[in-house]
Amino acid sequence: MEVALGLSTIKSGSAIAISGSKSETNRLLLLQALYPNIHIQNTSNSDDSEVMEAALSSTAETIDIHHAGTAMRFLTAYFAAQEGRTVVLTGSSRMKERPIQILVEALRQLGAQIEYTENEGFPPIKITGQKITASKVALQANVSSQYISALLLIASKLENGIEISLEGPLTSIPYINMTLALLHEMGIATAFEENTIKVEPSINKEPKTLTVESDWSSASYFYSIIALSEVGTTLKLSSFKKNSLQGDSALVSIYENFGVTSTFEGDTICLTKTYNAQPTTHNLQLNNTPDIAQTIAVTCLGLGLGCHLTGLHTLKIKETDRLEALRIELTKLGADVAVTDDTLILKATRTIHPNVNIETYNDHRMAMAFAPLALKAPIIIEDAEVVSKSYPNFWTDLKAIGFHISESH
């Protein structure tokens, strides 16, 4: 499906209800599989969460998780500790290019039995579930936080819990803290001191209902929309917490640079465009919030601002190489942009070429990050259905707030 967005203006005062966080949902679904007394409310309606839920309830010998990177990492750890169960985890062609070796080696340190069925270091993998009694494991701290969270999520069900030693500078700490906070909410004892994380064993849990906060990554596109709107424009988003577990809640402070003020009213945030940002180059370190890098780069282009974004090394192993994809698509629009393995540098420009076709590279965030530019110039998003990976209602919600959208198949 191709989506053409005409030059648009949003209806000030609109309200959007965003579904539960994919990150929180997938963590809680795994914990629910380990502790069936847990009940979860406001779960994400994303493809990734549906894939995760289906995989956890599957009795098949081969489980295909398609493009769902979080599911691949979390399920690798989950099945490694399912004594007596043998499973082959596979996925899309892109998933077979996304590394899993660091997590596999960490699990092997604990005594897990995992083999590669095609290419060394990459899915598919054959997992023969074991009773894991070893508890100490070391891995590099600058790897994807999902590797670390995968170990933490199964830790309380291991006979001796887990003690993870992280070597080197830490990255994506908010996602590790999110996992630990959810464990804490369930009454599981944890500790995170300097570069060591400990989780104590915990056999059974009393019945408990946990509510998933709405997804801040999904909220980022509306922050971009308000930033690109006229001064005085407002938009309400629900349901969010002022003291969020999600790293992407840093949007509140980051988008103040772009003239957007966030006001919390209960579980609703009111976004207001309060001023026009002065032409300058914004230097932002995003190692704790890499998923909003695409949104920020597009916002800066739309506002005629420059940006120097760093801490982006994990973007190269996402659904696509997001840095290279950004460079290609921003350049089509008239941007002067350069990337390295870790950074993106965008020079300020007032030029945005209209009616450019944006390729999405099977990456939901490419589709959604570029859509707000329709407030500045008409734009076409290819393979627009890819948004279902994290936000199936995205195009419907944009129409509801005033975007001019036509679809063709």
Question: Which one of the listed residues 47, 215, 291, 397 is annotated catalytic?
Answer: 291
CA atoms of 78 and 87, how far apart (whole Å): 11
The answer to whether the beta carbons of residues 257 and 277 sit under 8 Å apart is: yes
3-state secondary structure of 138: strand
The answer to whether the beta carbons of residues 364 and 320 sit under 8 Å apart is: no
Of all helices (H) and strands (E), which one includes residue 366?
A: helix 364-370
Among 16, 31, 389, 392, smallest CA distance to 210 is for 31
The answer to whether the beta carbons of residues 373 and 379 sit under 8 Å apart is: yes
Alpha helix ranges (H) inside 156-304:
173-185, 216-227, 251-254, 293-303
| Per-position b or e across 154-172, b if 16+ CB within 10 A of its CB | bbbbbeebbebebeeebbb
Among 51, 50, 48, 24, smallest CA distance to 38 is for 24
CA atoms of 291 and 288, how far apart (whole Å): 9
CA atoms of 185 and 241, how far apart (whole Å): 15
Q: Which two tokens stand for residue 28?
A: 């809680």
Q: Is 291 a catalytic residue?
A: yes
| Per-position b or e across 71-81, b if 16+ CB within 10 A of its CB | bbbbbbbbbbb
The answer to whether the beta carbons of residues 143 and 316 sit under 8 Å apart is: no
Q: Which residues are catalytic?
A: 291
